[in-house]
Amino acid sequence: MKRTVFIIAALALALAGAAHAAPTFEEVRAAYRSSDAELLDRHGEPIQSLRIDMAVRRLPWVALNDISPALPAAVLQAEDQRFYQHDGVDWNAAAQAAWDNLFRTRPRGASTITMQLAALLDPALQPVAKGRSWGQKWDQVKAARELDAQWSKRQIMEVYLNMVTYRGELQGVGAAARGMFGKAPSGLDLSESVILASLLRGPSAGQKVVSQRACGLARELRLPSTCDEIQLRIVVAMGRPQLAANLPPAPQVAQQLLTRSGQSVRSTLDAGLQRYAQNVLRQQLAALQGRNVNDGAVIVLDNASGEILAYVGNAGGGEVDGVAALRQAGSTLKPFLYELALERKQLTAASLMDDTAIDISTPSGMYIPQNYDKNFKGYVSVRTSLASSLNVPAVRTLVMTGMERFHERLRAVGLSSLTQPAEYYGYSLALGSAEVSLLELANAYRTLANGGMYGAVTLAPKTAAVPASRVLDARASFIIGDILADRAARSVTFGLKNELATTFWAAVKTGTSKDMRDNWCVGYTDRYTVGVWVGNFDGQSMWDVSGVSGAAPVWRDVMDYLNRGQISHAPKPPAGVLRQQIAYQPALEAARNEWFIAGTESPVIALAQDQHRAPKILYPGDSAIIALDPDIPDAIQRVFFQAQGGQGLQWKLDGVALGQAATSYSWRPTPGQHQLALVDNDDKPVATASFQVRGGSL
């Protein structure tokens, strides 16, 4: 023993004059890289982390003052009890270890915390499969003394706790505390600290070995916890799932912007708005679960800059990006169709549109559009047609403007997903048969908000304004915005009280795709554009969900949040737009003030005599056969009788009066042959149709 001590002392004297340049504490701290990259909002607030380095799990650096004092105390007791007395090497412990290694079958080490840190900082000092060579041990001793000479003890402890591996891939106190106990390092208690300290000698040790070490260390520190309590906490800690962050508010944005571990990137997102939009979406989806609505997405744009203020790819923080996914647009494309017709002066907001049955011959057969409510309104203005989202007038407008021209216009406002020629979509393009992304659709509405000026959106803060280009007529864009903000014109379909009726100026449009797979609400104020989509990522149909009941509540809540401090005001009319009092002859709509592109105005909108059409039954047609759906209970099945020119007439079925024919009539079908008639005030039939109902319960 004395000879061994003499050898160790000689080594210490030989090293006394050695002085090499060790890395500084600041250099080590600056070189540290979290395995994650961090996404910041526009104000510098962290909102999302993304793991980049898959070899190890490290979280951001933790200062010693932010670590519970219990952990350094437990680590010192387990690893280096004379840490504050030695100069980086505990020569007494080294001598005892050397003696024990000569005469005991189970050798022991004498590496101090400083020596372990030296090996962590220099890969050349780390042991290989057969352990460290004598040369490595010599270099490790020198490096430890150099660190101790240049660093404070607190700095050594701080770096050690941040760089040592505790368990599996968990490196550093931040990852260990979060991964094993689900808390920050400042919250570690005595028992948790003992467990972490017991892992340092063998991060891959089994529960039995860790329990033995932790129980022994707890006794040495005279902790009040029993060994059974500590063992239970070890079982729980080691059984926790892989380290996971809190519900991520912007994972899709993080994946787009974060590329390097340790990276911090500032985005255009607003953390408060991002969290609010996500929470509102989650609450609405929870309310709609009974209608088979499981997924959704929200986007918020700054009209002036194009900066993305909120980007909620889905409600649950998963990988599917509902903002970028392609879905059928539904009626959300109609504003651009009417803008085109107004711009070309083919229509005005006051023009009368024929909302009656239409069938168009196409190469694939007859195309027969219907309105959402299965009802026809007769002659209505363009304002009413767009605001109330009537389908037949939109198809008639597309016939007027031409499919190719409308297709080009949609591409011009940024809907890049319309890669097929116009003929591929056919006349259903007016009703949104094309697939678009929420991001591009919202930016197209932002183009309307900006008076027809198109500009790209961005997630990166701009250092200089990006020039915009004109793609829409400013006058027509203004009129379209005025129509989309008109709750009275919207009331024909949606009523006066709904989620679209904000207390401030806002232009908004809803849309629902075929078979109720996609539900949209997109609109803008003077400063912001908000787009919302709800549906199912797997393409399942929703059950009885409209734009007003599905996406609109989320849109309204987000818009209210954005306008809580500064209320939106209607835009000023551009040059070349004028407002004029108009009247209809006959009085199909009430007299009102209407906006016109200069040169298209007219004080009287008269319906030509040849446009008055004879009353007829539109549905069901004569000799029609109606088959009842066996999957729908008989009690809720309905057939809607529809007429042209039904004002002043009544429905009569099998000789029984039903009601006024000015609107459609909802009838519960019964199997058999039926005779339907339109009758006048003298009970004389002016139109009849014979039809048959098959199926159902007899």
Domain 2-239 has CATH 1.10.3810.10: yes
Instruction: Kindly list the distances between the CA atom of residue 653 and the CA atoms of 390, 621, 630, in Å, as whole numbers in the listed order.
Output: 28, 14, 24
Structural contact between residues 325 and 520, judged by C-beta atoms closer than 8 angstroms: no
Two tokens at 250? 């912007």
Q: Which letter does DSSP use for residue 307 in this model?
A: B
Q: In the chain, what is the greatest distance between 2 CA atoms, to the nearest angstrom?
A: 130
Task: Give the residue among 93, 65, 64, 72 at the shortest CA–CA distance from 221.
Answer: 72
> Helices 173-181 and 190-199, interaxial angle, to 10°?
120
The SS3 of residue 512 is: strand
What pLDDT does 16 receive?
43
> Closest Cα to residue 90, out of 64, 98, 1, 25?
98
Fold of 278-597: Beta-lactamase (3.40.710)
Q: How many helices (H) and strands (E) does the chain have?
A: 22, 29
Which residues are bridge partners to 131 per DSSP?
A: 128
What is residue 590's predicted lDDT score, i.e. its pLDDT?
Answer: 92
Token pair, residue 357, equals 């049955």
Report the distance separating Cα 305 and Cα 323, nearest Å: 19
With contact defined as beta carbons under 8 Å apart, do 272 and 278 qualify?
no
Instruction: State the pLDDT at residue 370.
Output: 62
CA distances from 591 to 72, 342, 581, 626 (A): 82, 21, 7, 41
Residue 375 has a pLDDT of 67
C-beta of residue 214 within 8 angstroms of C-beta of residue 8: no
Ranges of each domain in the chain: 2-239, 278-597, 616-694
**Per-10-residue mean pLDDT, the chain, length 698:** 38 43 86 85 87 79 93 90 82 55 48 86 71 69 86 92 90 90 91 91 88 90 88 87 60 85 87 95 92 94 96 82 95 97 96 80 58 72 94 91 94 96 90 95 98 95 80 98 94 81 95 89 98 94 83 96 92 97 92 96 80 72 71 71 82 92 84 92 90 68
Fold (topology level) of 616-694: Immunoglobulin-like (2.60.40)
* pLDDT recorded at residue 630: 65
Terminal CA-to-CA distance of the chain, rounded, Å? 107
Q: The tokens 């004029």 sit on which residue?
A: 580
From residue 698, alpha-carbon distances to 177, 298, 629, 672, 694 in Å are: 70, 49, 14, 9, 10
SS in 3 state form for 632-669?
Answer: CCHHHCCEEEEEECCCCCEEEECCEEEEECCCCEEECC
Backbone angles phi, psi at 48, to 5 degrees: -165, 140
